Each structure stands twice: as C-alpha cells, then as structure tokens.
Amino acid sequence: MKEKCTLIISSLAYALEMIITIAMLIGTGLLCFRLICSIFHLMDGNPFEAYEHLLSYSMNLIICVELIRMMYYHTSDMVFELLVFALARQVIIDHTSAITSLIGVCAIAVLFATRKFLFTTHVLSADTDDEDGKKSEKENK
C-alpha cells in the first residue's frame, strides 16, 4: 500500500512539473516574440538604454530556457548551466559596484572549479545517459 501511494504521489508530482514546464515554455515563446518585436524600436530614444534593456530581457529569457531544460532533464549539468547563466547575467547586466562584480566572477570561478574537481566520473556518467539509456560518446571511449 505504501509503495502504491508513493508511486501515485511521484506520478502526480511529475505530471504537475511537466504542466508547469509546458506553461513556462509557452510563456517563454510569447516573450521571445515580444523580444523580436522590440528590436525594431531599438533606436527610438536612447540606444544605450534600449540595448541594455534588450540584453537584460534576452538574458532573462535564456535563464528561463535553461530552467525549462533543467526541469525536463534533471541533471547536474543543467543545474550548473542555469547557475552560470544566472551569475553571468548578474555580472553583465547589473552595474552596481566593482566589489559586486568581483564577487560574481569569483562565484563563477568557484562553480567551474567545483565542476572540474568535485564532480566525480560516476556523477557525470549518470548525467550523460540519453533518453534511450545509451552512454554518450565520451563514456564509450
């Protein structure tokens, strides 16, 4: 009985997760269309402010796409990529102070160091299985 309840709850959680993912995908698609339309008004007014807004909007959409991928694939590589994009957006878009930028760059460096030295081959090989259960070319060598 306990196993059946666990299976039902797991299935419901997965279904809700996929519904949220599909809703995010539709919303991201609509916002991409809005982004394309806003390119035509890039030179209206101050072009530097418009470009900064365009860059910020684009990075937010990229982060949203990475979040959708992370929700679908559930791998540590997807989490890593999402964190890198979020930190890169913080460093590139937000012009707060040199210390904040330095902290952001250090955070990205720590992420890459963590990936290089703390991700074991077992974790990486489990994450590189494709949907058919086949190993990637790197794992077959």
136 domain-assigned: no
CB atoms within 10 A of CB 24: 15
137 domain-assigned: no
CA distance 95 to 102: 12
Check: CB of residue 87 under 8 Å from CB of residue 104.
yes
10 Å CB burial of residue 19 (0-12, 13-18, 19+) is exposed
Angle (CA) 22-28-32 rounded to 5° is: 145
The model carries a pTM of 0.68
Print the domain residue range for 101.
2-130
- Residue 110, pLDDT score: 93
- Residue 137, pLDDT score: 47
Torsion 49-55-57-59 (CA) sign:
negative
- Residue 122, pLDDT score: 53
47 domain-assigned: yes
- Residue 23, pLDDT score: 93
pLDDT in tens, the chain (141 residues): 888 899 999 999 999 999 999 999 999 999 999 888 888 777 777 778 888 888 888 888 988 888 888 888 878 888 888 888 888 888 888 777 888 889 989 999 999 998 888 876 655 555 555 444 444 444 444
Residue holding tokens 């209206």? 44
107 domain-assigned: yes
- What's the structural domain count of the chain? 1
